[in-house]
Structure 1
Amino acid sequence: MFAQFKAFSRLHPLIRFLLIGTLVTKAAKSMTTPFLALYLHMKTGADFGTVGLVIGLGYFSSTVGGVVGGALSDKIGRKKVMLSSIFIWSFVFILFGLVHDFMWFLLLNILSGLCHSCFEPVSKALMAELSEREMRFRIFSLRYLAINVGAAVGPLLGTYFGLAKTGTPFIITGLVYFGYAALLSLMMIRLITVKETNIAPEKVQAGSVLKTIKQDKALRFYIGGGILFLFSYSQMESTLLQYLNNDFANGVKIFSTLITLNAVTVILLQVPLTRLFEKYKSLTTISIGTVFCILGNTGFSLANGWIVFMLSMFVLTIGEILCFPSMNVLLDELAPDHMKGAYYGMQNLYNIGEFLGPWLGGMMLALYGGKAVFLIAACSVFLALGAYHVGRRKFLSAQHHDVSPFSY
C-alpha cells in the first residue's frame, strides 16, 4: 500500500487531481443517472418507451460527440475543450433538478451526452501526455478503480438524498461538477503550460477524423474489437437480470449479489492486479483478460445456482479489470502525438456495442434463452481478441514498412 501511495505521489499533480476528480464526479453522477428513467417518468408523465428514447439519444449523442470532441481538442487545445464541456455539464445537471418540461429533459440529456463525450476522451489524452509511457497502464487502472468506487457509492447517496421525491441529487451533482470545474481551471493555470495542453505539432484539418479511420487499418480493427467486447459486456449489465428473473427463483436477489461482487472485486483487486500485469505488454494483458471473460460468460451459460453464478462473475470481473485499462493503453500506443484526442474520442464508437447489446441480447433471450445469449457473448469476446491481434499486426506491419496513415 505504501508503494502504491509513493507511486501515486510521483505522478504529475494534474493527473492526481484528475484521478481524484474522477472518483468524486462519478460518485456525484451516479446519484442521478441510475434513476434517470424513473425520474423523467415522474416529472413528465411520459411512458417508459418515450423515456427510453430520451435515454438512448443521450448515449447516441455521446457516441457521436466523442469523435468530434477529441478531434476538436487536438485543434484548439485540451484546456478549452475540457473546461468548457465540464462547466456546461454542471449547469445541465442543475437544470435537470429544476425543469419539468419533456422537451427540456430531451435537450438536457443530449447535452449531457455531448459534454461527457467531450470531457472524458480529452482528459484521458491529457493524462497520457503528462505521463511516461510505462506508467500509463497504472494510471488508467487507477482511473478505472476510481470510476468503480464512485459508481458503488453514488446510488447509495442518491437514495439518501431522496431522488424519488425531488431533483435535489441533480442539483448537488451540478454543484459538485461546477466546483470541480473551477478547481480544474485553477490547476491548469498553475501547473501546465500552453504547450502541454495544445500538443498538436501538426494541426488537425477538417475531415481528418474520417480520413484517419479510412487510412489507419489498425485503428479500424481496434474499434471493431472494442465494439464486440462491449457488446458482450453489456449482456452482464442488462440481459443477465432478465435471464435470472425469468429462469431462477430469487433471480433479482442473485443479480444484486452479483453486481455487488463485481464492484467489490474491482475495488479490492484492481491495484494488486495492476502491479502484477504492468510489466507485460498491453496486448498480452488483453489476451489474458479476454480468456477470463470467455470463461465467465461460459460459466453464466452453464450455471444452475448461486455458487456457479458467483464464481463466473468473479472470473469475468478479473477479465474486466485487465481488459479495460489495457484497451486504453493499446490505443495510446497507436495514436500519434498530434491526434491523441481524436483517437481517444474514437473510443466512443465502442459504445455501439453497448447500444446494440441490450437490444439484440433481449431478442436472443426471447428466441433462444439465456444459455445461448452468454455463449454468444463468449464468442463475441473471442472475436474481439482476434480483431485486436489483427489490428496489432497491421500496426507493426505499417511501422516495419515505414508506412504512415497520417501522410495527408
Structure 2
Amino acid sequence: MLAVFKHYPFSVNLLLLSSLFLTMGRAITLPYMVIYLSSNFTLGVSDIGLVVGSAMLVGSLLSVYGGYLTDKMSSYRLILSFTGFFTLGFIGMCVTAHLWMFFLFLVAFNFAYSVIDIVVKAAFGKLLPEAERGKVFSVRYSLINIGYAVGPFIGAGFAHMDMKLPFLISAALGLGTFLTYMIWGDRTLSPTDRASLPISFASVGRTLLKDHRLVCFTVGGALSAVAFGQFTGYISQYLVTTSTPEFTYQVISAVVAVNATVVICLQYLVGKRITNEHLNRWLTAGFSLFLLGVVGFALSTSVWHWALAVGIFTVGEVIVFPAEYMFIDRIAPEHLRGMYYGAQNLSSLGGALGPILCGFALASQPPQFMFYMLAAFIVAGGCFYLMGASFSNRHDYGSID
C-alpha cells in the first residue's frame, strides 16, 4: 500500500497522513476515557456512557454545519482551525477540574475530528479525478484503521505512568499536524463555485432534503451503522450475558485482532477495484457479507467460530465504506460536496444507538434475538441504499447498477 503514495500529489499525501495522525491521537485517549472519568470525577459506568455518548452525538450533529463551512471557506483555513480545536480539546480535558468543562472540550474535540474528516473527503474530490477517488478512500480508511490499531497500545504505555499523559500525547499529535499543515498545506483549495451556494445554512438544508438519494443514503447508513458501527460493543454485551468473563475476553481479543488484520490487509486491494460502475452491486455484496457475519455471530460457539464470522463481517466493511463514499461523491454537486459528506456523517448516530438497543434487547428478549434485530437493521439499511440508487433527480450521473 505504501507504494501508492508515489502516485498521488504531495497535497493528497499530506491529507492522508493528517488523517492517520489525528486518528492515532483519538485512539490513544478514547479507550482510557472511562478510567479517567471514573477516577477524576467519580462517575459511575452509566454516567460515563452518557457523557461520552452525548459528546459524540452532539459532535456528529454539529458536523453537518462543518460540511456547510467546507463549501463556504478555504480548506486550508478549515483544517488549521479545526486541528487547533482538536489540540485544545485534549489540552482542556487534561487540565480542567469541572465536569461541564470537560464535556465541552470533549464535544469540541469530536466536532473538530468530524469536520476535518469532511474537509479531507471533499478535498479529494477537488484534487483527484473521479477514477482515482475510490482508491484514495480505501487508502485513507486503511490508514485510519492502522491509527486505531496502534493508538491504544501507545496510550496504554503512557497511561501506566500518568492518566493525563495520553491526553497530552494526543494534543502533541494534533499540534504536530497543525504545524505541518500550516507550513506545507495546499493554500489553493477553495470552494468551487461560491456564487451558486445558498446563503444560509437553513436554505442549504432544505436543498439537501429535496435530494431523495442523499436522504435514503443517510437513513440507510444510520440503520446499518446500528449493526457495524460499534460491533465489538454489542458482541461484548452478548458474551457477558451468555458466557464467562474469560471466554468473553478471549473472543473480544480475537475479534479485534481479526478485524484490524483483515482491514489493513484487504482494504486497499479490494477498494481499488471498486469503481463508479456497478457501485450498487458492490454495496449489495457488502451488505450480504454483513448479514452473513451477523448470522455467524448468532451461531458461534467457539473462539474460532467468532473469528471466522468477524472475518466475513469485516470483508463487508472493507467493501461498504469506500463504496458509500463513492456514492456520495457521485451524487454531490461540486458546490455542496462538503454538506453531502456532512449529512453522511449522521450515519454515526446509528453506531451510537447500537449498544443501547442491543442492551434493551438482551434485557427483555432471549439473547439470540439481538442478532435477529441487527440482521433486520442491515436489511433495512440495504433497502434504503437500493431505494436511493433508484431515484432520478437533478444530480443524476448515469447508471450506478
Trace 1:224-239 onto structure 2 (pairs within 5 A).
224-234=219-229, 236-239=231-234
Task: Confirm whether residue 167 of structure 1 aligns to residue 164 of structure 2.
Answer: yes
Residue in structure 1 matched with residue 309 of structure 2 by the alignment: 312
2:22–2:173 contact (8 Å) kept in structure 1: yes
Map Cα deviations across residues 103-122 of structure 1 (whole Å, 9 max, x no partner): 22112112112212222111
Aligned to 2:20: 23
- Conserved? CA contact 2:330–2:397, under 8 Å: no
Q: How does 1:207-218 map to 2 (within 5 A)?
A: 207-218=202-213
Is structure 2 residue 258 aligned with structure 1 residue 266? no
Matched with 1:72 is: 69
Match of 1:221 in 2: 216
The residue correspondences of 1:91-240 to structure 2 (distance < 5 A) are: 91-162=88-159, 165-188=162-185, 191-193=186-188, 196-201=189-194, 202-206=196-200, 207-234=202-229, 236-240=231-235
Kept in 2, the 8 Å contact 1:244–1:255? The answer is no
CA contact (8 A) 1:67 1:209 kept: no
Q: Deviations over 1:107-141 (max 9, x none)?
A: 21121122122221111111222111011111111
**Residue 71 of structure 2 aligns to which amino acid in structure 1?**
D
Of 211-220 and 229-238, deviating more is: 229-238
Distance 1:235 1:26 in 2: 16
TM-score by length of 1: 0.91
Q: What is the match of residue 34 of structure 1?
A: 31
Amino acid at match of 1:210: G
1:406 match: none
State how far apart, in whole Å, the 2-side matches of 1:69 and 1:61 are.
Answer: 12
Question: How much has 1:181 moved relative to structure 2?
Answer: 1.1
Give, in whole Å, the separation in 2 of the partners of 1:343 and 1:134. Answer: 19
Retained in 2: the 8 A contact 1:300–1:371?
no
CA contact (8 A) 1:31 1:154 kept: yes
- 8 Å contact kept, 1:222–1:387: yes
Contact preservation (8 Å) 2:208, 2:340: no
Contact 2:333–2:395 (Cα < 8 Å) also in 1: no
Tell me the CA shift for residue 229 of structure 1.
Answer: 1.2
Over aligned residue pairs, what C-alpha RMSD do you find? 2.0
1:122–1:345 contact (8 Å) kept in structure 2:
no
In 2: Cα distance, 1:252 partner to 1:215 partner: 47
With the length of structure 2 as denominator, give the TM-score of the two structures. 0.93
Q: Out of 156-165 and 254-263, give the one that drifted further.
A: 156-165
Whole-angstrom distance in 2 between the partners of 1:367 and 1:338: 48
CA distance in 1, matches of 2:273, 2:212: 31
Supply the distance in 2 between the matched residues of 1:330 and 1:63 (Cα, whole angstroms): 20
**Aligned-partner Cα distance in 2 for 1:387–1:227:** 10
- Quote how far apart the aligned CAs of 1:76 are: 2.4
1:376 counterpart = 2:378 = no
Tell whether 2:230 aligns with 1:242.
no
Correspondent of 1:297 among 285, 294, 297 = 294
Query: Which 5+ residue runs of structure 2 have no aligned equivalent?
Result: none
User: What letter corresponds to residue 192 of structure 2 in structure 1?
Assistant: I
Question: Matched residue pairs, number?
Answer: 394
Q: Which residue of 2 aligns with 1:388?
A: 385
Q: SS where residue 30 of structure 1 aligns?
A: helix
Q: Structure 1: which amino acid aligns with 2:180?
A: L
For 1:221, the aligned partner's letter is C
For 1:21 and 1:400, locate their aligned partners in 2 and report how far apart those are by CA, in whole Å.
Answer: 33
Partner of 1:405: none
Per-residue deviation, 1:38: 1.5
Q: How far does residue 338 in structure 1 lie from its aligned partner after superposition?
A: 0.1
TM-superposed deviation, 1:367: 1.8
Q: Which amino acid aligns with 1:198?
A: P
After TM superposition, give the deviation of residue 199 of structure 1 in Å.
2.0
Q: Please tell me whether residue 54 in structure 1 is matched to residue 51 in structure 2.
A: yes
Offset of 1:71 from its aligned partner?
0.5
Give the whole-Å Cα distance in 2 for the aligned partners of 1:400 and 1:83. Answer: 34
**Contact kept in structure 2, 1:235 and 1:374, CA below 8 Å:** no
- Which of 5, 11, 28 pairs up with 1:8? 5
- Code of the residue aligned with 2:317 in structure 1: it is E
Q: Deviations over 1:191-229 (max 9, x none)?
A: 442xx3222341332113321232111111011110111
Equivalent of residue 284 in structure 1, options 277, 281, 285: 281
SS in 1 for 2:8: coil
- The amino acid across from 1:224 in the alignment is V
Distance 2:360 2:147 in 1: 32
- Cα distance change of structure 1 residues 328 and 390 upon mapping to structure 2, 3 Å threshold: same
**Same amino acid, percent of matched pairs:** 26
Mapped pair 1:333 → 2:327: no
